[in-house]
Amino acid sequence: MREENKGMPSGGGSDEGLTSAAARGLVEKVRQLLEAGADPNGVNRFGRRAIQVMMMGSARVAELLLLHGAEPNCADPATLTRPVHDAAREGFLDTLVVLHRAGARLDVRDAWGRLPVDLAEERGHRDVAEYLRAATGD
């Protein structure tokens, strides 16, 4: 068990509910759970946080999680991908902007050495790639 997860429930409870609601893009359910005290950095039974499994097309879910203290730079332990990698790969500019404004780093590589801009370009998401180049000064 990772050090930061010791003492945390491994699934069940509000953390599992929050990750499930975030993955489905259920904005109101996410809001209710956060207002009821769900930990925005809590993990589900797979060791993933809500910000990592959220429906990337729902910028509002990202905003709610971040406003309640979700860590925008949490990396997948196996792939080293971060939420910005996922948003860039899938072409969700609105979500990417929300993550970036909340402090998400755009200069980190995944386990294959790819930056978010690389993923956007690979998938043909020109608007996302342009934003990333402008934001990083490239």
Domain residue limits, the chain: 1-71, 72-138
Split at pLDDT 50, 70, 90, the class of 16 is confident
- Identical fold, 1-71 and 72-138: yes
1-71 CATH: 1.25.40.20
Topology classification of domain 72-138 = 1.25.40
Q: What is the mean pLDDT of residues 86-102?
A: 98
Residues 61 and 29 sit within 8 Å (Cβ to Cβ): no
Split at pLDDT 50, 70, 90, the class of 74 is very high
Residue 1 has pLDDT above 70, yes or no: no
